[in-house]
Amino acid sequence: MSAPDIIVIGGGIAGLSAAAALSAHGRVAVLEAEEQVGYHSSGRSATMLHYALGDRLVRALTLASRAFFEHPPEGFTEVPLGRRTPVLVHAREDERAALDRLHAEISRFADLETLDAAGVHALCPLLNDQAVAGIAELEAMRIDAHALLQGNLRQLRSRGGELRTGARIQSIAREGGVWVVTSDKGERFSAAILVDAAGSWADEIGRLAGVQVLGLQPKRRTIITFDAPPGTDLEHLPFTKTIDDELYFGAESGRLFASPMDETPSEPCDAQPDEYDVALAAHRMEDRTTVEVRQIHSKWAGLRTFTSDQHPAAGFAPDADGFFWLAGQGGFGLQTSPAMAAIVESLVAGTPWPVADVAAADLSPSRFVRQPA
Ligand SMILES: Cc1cc2nc3c(=O)[nH]c(=O)nc-3n(C[C@H](O)[C@H](O)[C@H](O)COP(=O)(O)OP(=O)(O)OC[C@H]3O[C@@H](n4cnc5c(N)ncnc54)[C@H](O)[C@@H]3O)c2cc1C
């Protein structure tokens, strides 16, 4: 039996970034069911860092993470982790009040430009003339998700940690004060601390361990790619979104990508795009822009997994020694991963608390779990 100090279940961005941080304090093993890291949500995202989603807590975690993307630790990556990409939130006439509210919420986190109709179309010439106002966050970023995953993996390995892929955990037991986990191939691992970073499956891991689960809800989101109109300046195209959760689009590998921002409740699974959502993405693109979606080049779907209050959960289970929850990163798991990893490190290894604007209680799994009598 392999016996590290800490087992992390899940080789997505949550598990790998937490494992990299924890590997400064002990031997860490990451156990991942798939043959590659980032196969599920972490490899299917829109890869943005911006403040036009979530609420105060999510924005505070994002703000605390930003420096990591701009100045990663020495040796973490050979390529930039982020590339400046403006975010444009645009509004129709009837959406102006909502735009003003969003401006008020975001302005303490990011420098914003307020745009009139001409400004909106100068920044994103693809929008049609329904768009009459906007706010632009010019310093937003596109994250290189692959470089981020690989950088965390490199850091984990350089500190003596290991990743086991193809290790689907199917049983978990508490024996003699340690967690013993067994994969579908019969490999056994034991450790005093078990970090559950299994994304959409985090409650399933909790059930295997016999702890009270958080009530996580995975929600499917779909992305399509298609050709841009000839002459589109993809290099300078902002990530462009509606004020409500209706549509976002941007540039992707020489084409355009778009999402209808669907949030269909799902079981944990290898999410596949539904034809209705694919058609909806194309329809909404044509409704809000001058682009005709003639042919869909590619499509995919991924799960965004939420707690009931939409905030992530990070902390030891109140009902089981050594079981640590790291789940519910919703649609912001990449952009908040550096701060979340530092929070995990603080809660597990006692390093200083890293995010002044967020309290441990805000993230505690005790929000969802009855305390033992
Ligand atoms: C369409 C879409 C757009 C998004 N856009 C953004 C964005 O712009 N910015 C942003 O920050 N975030 C975005 N997100 C959200 C982000 O992708 C997620 O919050 C993040 O990837 C969650 O990471 P995770 O590690 O928790 O989950 P995952 O990446 O799903 O990792 C969990 C891992 O656990 C493994 N696992 C599960 N069960 C077991 C088991 N029994 N044994 C072993 N391993 C197991 C799985 O195989 C999986 O690899 C988006 C998501 C989607 C779907």
Report pLDDT digits (tens) over 102-117.
999 999 999 999 999 9
8 Å CB contact between 29 and 2? yes
Shortest-distance Cα residue to atom 20 of ligand 1? 333
Measured over all CA atoms, what is the biggest interatomic distance in the chain, rounded to whole angstroms?
Answer: 68
- 40-64 tens-digit pLDDT: 999 999 999 999 999 999 999 999 9
Average pLDDT in the chain: 97
Q: Report the candidate in 198, 224, 233, 235 with the shortest Cα–Cα distance to residue 83.
A: 235
pLDDT of 37 > 80? The answer is yes
- What confidence score (pLDDT) does residue 18 get? 98
Q: Helix 56-70 crosses helix 96-106 at what angle (to 10 degrees)?
A: 60
Residue 15 CB–ligand 1 contact under 6 Å: yes
Separation of alpha carbons 189 and 169, rounded Å: 10
Residue 304 CB–ligand 1 contact under 6 Å: yes
Rounded to the nearest whole angstrom, what is the distance from the C-alpha of residue 249 to the centroid of ligand 1?
A: 20
Q: Helix 13-22 crosses helix 337-349 at what angle (to 10 degrees)?
A: 40
Residue 168 CB–ligand 1 contact under 6 Å: yes
Any alpha helices (H) in 45-190, and if so which ranges? 56-70, 96-106, 117-123, 145-158
- What confidence score (pLDDT) does residue 49 get? 98
Q: Count other C-beta atoms under 10 Å from residue 5's C-beta.
A: 16
8 Å CB contact between 156 and 148? no
- What confidence score (pLDDT) does residue 1 get? 83
Shortest-distance Cα residue to atom 52 of ligand 1? 45
- What confidence score (pLDDT) does residue 217 get? 98
Amino acid identity at 49: L
Shortest-distance Cα residue to atom 10 of ligand 1? 332
Burial class (CB in 10 A: 0-12, 13-18, 19+), 356: exposed
Q: What is the mean pLDDT of residues 236-264?
A: 97
Q: What is the mean pLDDT of residues 56-85?
A: 97
Rounded to the nearest whole angstrom, what is the distance from the C-alpha of residue 38 to the centroid of ligand 1?
A: 7
Residue 224 CB–ligand 1 contact under 6 Å: no
Q: What is the DSSP string of 165-217?
A: -S--EEEEEEETTEEEEEETT--EEEESEEEE--GGGHHHHHHHHTPPP---E
Amino acid identity at 75: G
Separation of alpha carbons 51 and 137, rounded Å: 8
- What confidence score (pLDDT) does residue 370 get? 75
CA distances from 340 to 80, 215, 279, 301 (A): 20, 20, 35, 24
**Ligand 1 atom nearest to CA at 259:** 1
Residue 10 CB–ligand 1 contact under 6 Å: yes
DSSP character at residue 77: -
- 320-367 tens-digit pLDDT: 999 999 999 999 999 999 999 999 999 999 999 999 999 999 999 999
pLDDT of 372 > 80? The answer is no
- What confidence score (pLDDT) does residue 373 get? 60
Rounded to the nearest whole angstrom, what is the distance from the C-alpha of residue 90 to the centroid of ligand 1?
A: 28
- 152-199 tens-digit pLDDT: 999 999 999 999 999 999 999 999 999 999 999 999 999 999 999 999
Percent of the chain with pLDDT over 90: 98
Rounded to the nearest whole angstrom, what is the distance from the C-alpha of residue 327 to the centroid of ligand 1?
A: 9
Residue 123 CB–ligand 1 contact under 6 Å: no
8 Å CB contact between 36 and 224? no
**Ligand 1 atom nearest to CA at 302:** 53
Residue 333 CB–ligand 1 contact under 6 Å: yes
- 299-316 tens-digit pLDDT: 999 999 999 999 999 999
Rounded to the nearest whole angstrom, what is the distance from the C-alpha of residue 228 to the centroid of ligand 1?
A: 28
Domains of the chain, earliest start first: 6-46+145-214+309-367 (3.50.50.60), 86-139+217-306 (3.30.9.10)
- What confidence score (pLDDT) does residue 44 get? 98
**Ligand 1 atom nearest to CA at 13:** 25
pLDDT of 215 > 70? The answer is yes
